[in-house]
């Protein structure tokens, strides 16, 4: 749908708000302009963004290039690496298995991986909520036998359980973001369903949600409409003087961050979750509420301090925490459910704002490509007045 057409519809529906700073028409137009500016000011080679205001038809737009060298333009089907926005999909699959009584929140890790250190104290709930205490594998000192394609290799747990460091804290006592936990969840999905992770997602999430442009990335088999990723300026391996260059590293983090998608598909995913099409509405409410620690406190009250350094946030952000697959935060005074994604060559944001039912997806094919305008975009989206 063209921007002009959408704005025409919004003007009719939201006429009563047209004189306020919370007008969906004006704010949507400003958000579109800010996304375009990310390309114009060379923050990113290309940008795709999508926004849906309550039940109004979603707006999806693309700006810039899928390939900087060839100047191939982005199109609505251009697939970006969404990095950690993969985690809500992994969590949804796990919650489906729980609702079908094939899995339980309190199932222990040792049910699936008997030799995993401290696995008899780590539960599915801990993995979902990042309260397991398992560090990211690049901080855990992986064994020398780690395959080059880890964690896309068969049975990644076999290498994770050989890390020298497997426990940051007692499970359930702190929140500490763990990609390792979500790799283990992906393998658990395969064990229970007896099919590959991406096949499970295709059958149980993508198809029911109407998503036709989302897939797992395997670097050895690039697909049509795959967008190329970049870094701003010169990378360590590139001595040219181009504005953008190739990222230094490239890896596929499986169920912790291995999907490619479009803004249209991501909005379809949020709508399918909210409507109860993928999991029950009660489970979605649990997914998008703060998870709790063993003492009953919400996770935002106990963020693990790596190396003794407490996390710091901009003044507009309060109560940073996590639900079951989504980040939960108070942003400009309102609850926001979201997930970000950062990976070699790409930057992504997916956001659901319950109080005004705004859904927003932004994908950039440049590292940190969204950050310079993100706070302004968030403020505009959050301030849209519900009706």
Could you state, in order of their start, the residue ranges of all structural domains in the chain?
3-79+198-287+318-383, 90-193
pLDDT tens, 50-96?
A: 999 987 789 999 999 999 999 999 999 999 999 999 999 999 999 99
pLDDT, residue 182, reads 98
Is CATH 3.40.710.10 the classification given to domain 3-79+198-287+318-383?
yes
Do residues 53 and 268 make contact, with C-beta atoms less than 8 angstroms apart? no
pLDDT, residue 77, reads 96
Low-confidence stretches of the chain (pLDDT < 50) are: 1-20
């Amino acid at each position: 749908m063209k921007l002009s057409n959408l704005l025409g519809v919004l003007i009719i529906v939201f006429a009563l708000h047209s004189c306020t700073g919370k007008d969906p028409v004006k704010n949507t137009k400003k958000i579109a302009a800010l996304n375009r500016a990310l390309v114009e000011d060379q923050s990113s080679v290309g940008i795709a963004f999508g926004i849906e205001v309550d039940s109004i038809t979603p707006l999806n737009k693309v700006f810039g290039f899928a390939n900087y060298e060839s100047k191939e333009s982005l199109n609505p089907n251009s697939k970006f690496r969404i990095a950690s926005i993969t985690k809500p999909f992994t969590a949804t699959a796990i919650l489906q298995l729980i609702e079908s009584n094939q899995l339980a929140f309190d199932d222990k890790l040792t049910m699936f991986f008997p030799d995993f250190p401290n696995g008899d104290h780590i539960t599915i709930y801990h993995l979902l909520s990042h309260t397991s205490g398992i560090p990211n594998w690049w901080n855990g000192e992986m064994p020398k036998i780690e395959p080059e394609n880890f964690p896309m290799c068969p049975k990644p747990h076999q290498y994770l359980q050989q890390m020298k460091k497997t426990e940051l804290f007692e499970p359930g006592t702190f929140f500490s973001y763990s990609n390792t936990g979500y790799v283990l969840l992906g393998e658990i999905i395969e064990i229970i369903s007896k099919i590959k992770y991406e096949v499970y997602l295709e059958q149980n999430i993508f198809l029911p949600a109407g998503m036709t442009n989302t897939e797992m990335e395997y670097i050895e088999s690039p697909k049509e409409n795959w967008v190329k990723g970049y870094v701003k300026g010169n990378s360590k391996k590139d001595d040219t003087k181009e504005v953008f260059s190739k990222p230094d590293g490239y890896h596929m983090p499986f169920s912790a961050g291995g999907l490619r998608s479009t803004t249209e598909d991501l909005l379809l995913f949020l709508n399918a979750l909210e409507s109860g099409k993928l999991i029950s509405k009660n489970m979605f409410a649990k997914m998008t509420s703060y998870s709790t620690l063993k003492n009953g406190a919400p996770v935002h009250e106990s963020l693990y301090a790596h190396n003794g350094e407490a996390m710091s946030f901009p003044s507009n952000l309060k109560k940073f925490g996590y639900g079951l697959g989504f980040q939960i935060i108070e942003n400009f005074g309102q609850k926001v459910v979201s997930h970000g994604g950062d990976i070699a060559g790409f930057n992504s944001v997916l956001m659901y704002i319950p109080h005004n039912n705004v859904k927003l997806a932004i994908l950039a094919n440049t590292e940190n490509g969204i950050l310079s305008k993100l706070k302004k975009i968030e403020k505009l989206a959050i301030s849209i007045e519900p009706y």
